[in-house]
Amino acid sequence: MIEVLVTLVILAFGLLGVCGLQMKIGVAEMESYQRAQALLALTQMTERLNANAAQVASYVSGNPVGTGDAQPLDCTGIAQGPNRDLCEWSNTLKGTAETSGGANTGAMAGGRGCITQLQAPNPALGVCTPGVYQVSVAWQGMAPTSVPVLACGTGQYGAIDAYRRAIAATVTLPTTSCY
């Protein structure tokens, strides 16, 4: 009889372990989904910068786009160019493409995007230094980790910045007069 009770206790602890593992798998799956969405948004904006290299300075701003910005939900009234690209990127980061019960669910939680200039282009004869830009995407994770070194979204995800996730890509654009 005691062997049966010991077996049941061991089985109960094993089942609790399986339940805990299942919960961790769910969190890891959500983190993975959010990272994939962030990579898509990051790639989208780097492609837009490459396509519109002549007006790249208009994309640079000290304010992040996405969650909490003042961009409209409908970008069709904005002329093609940097302002339209930023509006559409903002909506991508907000997840407006998919909704459930009136809430945006098509992207990561609290998605924000930043575009900063790392090196100004210099088209002077004999210099021809390309412009270097950093495109960053930040979002809120499900559990705390180490704080990202990227500045995008700093302080926007509660008192503990360890919930913030961030990725970035560097875009180098040659000056048009140096081809």
Check whether 102 has a pLDDT greater than 90.
no
> What is the mean pLDDT of the segment spanning 54-81?
88
Q: What is the mean pLDDT of the chain?
A: 88
Single out the residue of 170, 163, 121 nearest to residue 142, CA to CA.
163
Check whether 179 has a pLDDT greater than 70.
no
Residue 113: band (very low, low, confident or very high) from pLDDT cuts 50, 70, 90? very high
For the question of whether the overall pTM of this predicted structure is more than 0.75, the answer is: yes
What integer pLDDT is reported at residue 149 of this predicted model? 92
Amino acid type, 25: I
Residue 142: band (very low, low, confident or very high) from pLDDT cuts 50, 70, 90? confident
Residues 107 and 138: beta-carbon distance below 8 Å = no
Place of tokens 């396509």: 51
What integer pLDDT is reported at residue 32 of this predicted model? 87
The ranges assigned to domains in the chain are: 2-178
> What is the mean pLDDT of the segment spanning 76-104?
85
Q: Are strands 65-66 and 112-119 parallel, antiparallel or unpaired?
A: antiparallel
Amino acid type, 147: V
Q: Which tens digits make up the pLDDT trace of 3-58? A: 888 899 899 999 998 898 988 888 888 888 899 999 999 999 999 999 998 899 99
Residue 157: band (very low, low, confident or very high) from pLDDT cuts 50, 70, 90? confident
Listed in sequence order, the residues at least 6 apart from 166 whose beta carbon sits closer than 8 Å to its beta carbon are 136, 137, 138, 139, 148, 150, 152, 153
